[in-house]
């Protein structure tokens, strides 16, 4: 039998399209505040926005008589007819946000319209109006949303922890601050300040407050004004992240998620970033509202362009121009007689890296002093059948010849020459050391050193969330962090491998990496990889012959010496045949 749903059920189902979690509520209400002309927006949350989410603004406000109408479905002040959709310039326009939120929460809205001597208040629970009366309040609007999904327990059950939900709200507020640097945003969580922007209009200042001053110093201005306007900032190739969460795209001030445009940004960094690394970007595209359809997604997270290829091309042009102007371009190959550089693509035979087995390492000439075979070092070998296939791959015996560009170790081995990336190699060594110590863990980090005087570490909002979630994992690695005031931690112990002068910088860099993690299930592994990276020798660091010999010896003991903790190769092998061809001997 086909029958119409009752109004309450229909409202709850419709609310699901707009209200997925507390962050969805925050997004809709902040958009309303911006559309109302607010220059200051204050967000307060409790229990990740589940118990309470309050947003106060100093915008135009709503007259007392219109408060009930604001909670009627499809009631809006943004458009008057279907024709207005073609040129809609506001963030909200459907009239679904307030009724959808009220259908699944307890809502109190107080507002005072511009020029009015007093304001009004309306209270609703599950979509039902409980009170509508005059009230004293400052100019603007304050919306308090309590007990989200109180009447839809199935929806409530699927929310994540308050920490995770609060992190999503922080992300939403951060994106609005990036899109509207001229508006001051303040976010409080359980009474503690999380983020605040000045509203000065300085986008770099917002970037510094969100991601830290070091990131802001590594941002490049990107701009294109050919057919449409693309403006913003992108990161230098040296500044990258392990996720795409730092790519912020806005169309006429609307935060969107567009795969093609994200691809346009990353394509501009082709060959400049390692696999698995992503740039940071804040890009705002301004164009005629008639050339973009914002009505293709219930939460307005996606848009459609009339000239999609043009938009893609201009975004790529702006980002590529910024990177090309400020980043060095590495050209591999040799020049032809005309003087132009020809990029040489080695054949598969040339580039194939062959990792000999432990038995094969002993085959060939008997290398002299300085070579490190497994037999010479007494390196551990698994018995047959005790490890997965390819779990242990020994290096050939290598003789260190020197250091190139204070970054690569040059070594000779069976079948040619090896260039070893000193940072990647030491990162692999450090990861194996960390994992071995964890395997023998008795509950405490075995090499942790207690500091007589704790170090204070100031963190960004994203870093604070990561620190709180990853503290147990960090403690197991010897990094004991203790909360100390707002967005400050005390570092009470460090691993023996971490030099104390570099502790603050290392912790900050690790928290930046860990903040990209979306769930707590991966904290231990992510923390291990990050610590291995940040306690390894760096590119540009001069190594003595003894240090290079020792590093190669340690690398040979690793279970997977061919790749670092992030999957980057530790070395490149130039075969004897390849060298002979390059020198015309073959």
Residue 179 placed within a domain:
yes
Residue range 165-193: average pLDDT?
Answer: 94
Q: For residue 172, is pLDDT > 90?
A: yes
Token representation of residue 100: 């959808």
In the chain, the percentage of residues whose pLDDT exceeds 70 is 77
Same domain, 226 and 86: no
Residue range 272-292: average pLDDT?
Answer: 86
Strand 281-286 vs strand 52-57: parallel, antiparallel, or unpaired?
Answer: unpaired
Q: Is the pTM of this model over 0.75?
A: no
Greater pLDDT, 424 or 358: 424
CA 297 → CA 86, 94, 301, 302, distances in Å? 15, 11, 6, 6
Evaluate whether 427 touches 530 at the Cβ level (below 8 Å).
no
CATH code assigned at 389? 3.30.1540.20
**Given pLDDT bands bounded at 50, 70 and 90, which one contains residue 558?**
confident
Same domain, 368 and 451: yes
Same domain, 29 and 82: yes
Please tell me the least confidently modeled range out of 37-46, 232-241, 364-373: 364-373
CA atoms of 222 and 215, how far apart (whole Å): 16
Same domain, 371 and 493: yes
Residue 339 placed within a domain:
no
**Given pLDDT bands bounded at 50, 70 and 90, which one contains residue 294?**
confident
Residue 521 placed within a domain:
no
Which residue bears the tokens 């007392």? 64
Question: Of the candidates 418, 352, 407, which has an alpha carbon nearest to the alpha carbon of residue 556?
Answer: 418
Residue 132 placed within a domain:
yes
Same domain, 290 and 402: no
Please tell me the least confidently modeled range out of 3-7, 37-41, 104-108, 418-422: 3-7
63-77, pLDDT tens digit by residue?
A: 999 999 889 876 665
Same domain, 179 and 233: no
Per-residue confidence (pLDDT) for residue 585, from 0 to 100: 84
Same domain, 240 and 288: yes
Per-residue confidence (pLDDT) for residue 83, from 0 to 100: 52
Same domain, 77 and 155: yes
Q: What is the residue range of 55's domain?
A: 7-191
Same domain, 448 and 301: no
Evaluate whether 358 touches 381 at the Cβ level (below 8 Å).
yes
Which residues are CB-contacts of 113 (< 8 A; sequence separation ≥ 6)? 60, 61, 62, 63, 119, 139
Same domain, 440 and 535: yes
Q: For residue 275, is pLDDT > 70?
A: no
Same domain, 181 and 278: no
Residue 119 placed within a domain:
yes
Please tell me the least confidently modeled range out of 58-67, 442-451, 522-531: 442-451
CA atoms of 62 and 562, how far apart (whole Å): 64
CATH code assigned at 224? 3.30.230.10
27-55, pLDDT tens digit by residue?
A: 999 999 999 999 999 999 999 999 999 99
Q: For residue 216, is pLDDT > 60?
A: yes
| Domain stop point among 172, 191, 210 | 191
502-534, pLDDT tens digit by residue?
A: 898 889 888 887 876 544 446 888 888 889 988
Token representation of residue 531: 């610590």
Q: For residue 131, is pLDDT > 90?
A: yes
Same domain, 18 and 155: yes
- Number of separate domains in the chain: 3
CA atoms of 506 and 535, how far apart (whole Å): 8
Q: For residue 496, is pLDDT > 80?
A: yes
Locate all alpha helices (DSSP H) within 327-369, ordered by sequence: 348-351
Residue 144 placed within a domain:
yes
The top-scoring range by mean pLDDT among 342-351, 493-502, 510-519 is: 493-502
């Amino acid at each position: 039998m086909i029958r119409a749903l009752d109004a309450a059920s229909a409202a709850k189902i419709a609310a699901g399209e707009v209200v997925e979690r507390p962050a969805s509520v925050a997004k809709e209400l902040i958009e309303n505040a911006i559309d109302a002309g607010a220059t200051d927006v204050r967000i307060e949350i409790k229990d990740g926005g589940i118990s309470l989410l309050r947003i106060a603004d100093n915008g135009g406000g709503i007259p007392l008589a219109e408060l009930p109408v604001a909670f009627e479905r499809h009631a809006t002040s943004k458009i008057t007819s279907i024709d207005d959709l073609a040129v809609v310039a506001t963030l909200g326009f459907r009239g679904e946000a307030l009724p959808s939120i009220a259908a699944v929460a307890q809502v109190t809205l107080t507002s005072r319209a511009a020029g009015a001597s007093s304001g009004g208040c309306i209270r609703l629970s599950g979509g039902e109006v409980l009170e509508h009366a005059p009230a004293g309040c400052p100019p603007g609007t304050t919306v308090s949303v309590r007990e989200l999904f109180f009447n839809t327990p199935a929806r409530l059950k699927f929310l994540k922890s308050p920490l995770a939900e609060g992190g999503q709200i922080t992300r939403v507020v951060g994106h609005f601050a990036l899109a509207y640097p001229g508006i001051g945003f303040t976010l409080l969580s359980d009474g503690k300040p999380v983020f605040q922007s000045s509203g000065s209009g300085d986008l770099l200042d917002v970037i510094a407050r969100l991601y830290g001053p070091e990131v802001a110093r590594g941002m490049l201005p990107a701009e294109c004004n050919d057919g449409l306007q693309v403006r913003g900032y992108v990161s230098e190739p040296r500044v990258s992240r392990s996720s795409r969460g730092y790519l912020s795209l806005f169309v006429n001030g609307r935060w969107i998620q567009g795969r093609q445009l994200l691809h346009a940004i990353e394509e501009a960094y082709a060959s400049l970033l390692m696999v698995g690394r992503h740039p940071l970007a804040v890009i705002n595209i301004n164009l005629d509202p008639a050339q973009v359809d914002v009505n293709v997604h219930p939460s307005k997270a996606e848009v459609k362009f009339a000239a999609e290829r043009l938009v893609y091309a201009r975004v790529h042009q702006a980002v590529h121009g910024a990177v090309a102007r400020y980043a060095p371009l590495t050209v591999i190959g040799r020049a032809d007689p005309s003087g132009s550089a020809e990029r040489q693509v080695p054949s598969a035979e040339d580039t194939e890296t062959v990792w000999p087995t432990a038995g094969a390492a002993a085959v060939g000439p008997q290398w002299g002093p300085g070579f490190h075979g497994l037999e010479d070092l007494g390196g551990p070998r698994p018995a047959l059948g005790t490890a997965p296939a390819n779990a242990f791959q020994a290096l050939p015996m290598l003789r260190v010849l020197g250091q190139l560009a204070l970054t690569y170790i040059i070594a000779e081995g069976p079948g040619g020459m090896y260039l070893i990336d000193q940072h990647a190699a030491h990162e692999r060594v450090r990861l194996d050391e960390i994992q071995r110590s964890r395997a023998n863990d008795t509950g405490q980090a075995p090499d942790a050193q207690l500091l007589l005087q704790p170090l204070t570490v100031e963190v960004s909002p994203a870093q604070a969330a990561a620190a709180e979630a990853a503290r147990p994992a960090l403690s197991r690695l010897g990094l004991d962090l203790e909360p100390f005031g707002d967005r400050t931690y005390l570092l009470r112990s460090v691993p023996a491998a971490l030099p104390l002068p570099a502790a603050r910088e290392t912790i900050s860099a690790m928290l930046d990496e860990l903040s990209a993690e979306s769930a707590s299930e991966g904290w231990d592994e992510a923390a291990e990889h990050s610590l291995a990276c940040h306690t390894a020798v760096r590119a540009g660091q001069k190594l003595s012959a003894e240090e290079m010999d020792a590093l190669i010896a340690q690398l040979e003991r690793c279970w997977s010496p061919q790749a670092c903790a992030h999957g980057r190769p530790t070395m490149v092998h130039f075969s004897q045949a390849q060298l002979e061809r390059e020198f015309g001997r073959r």
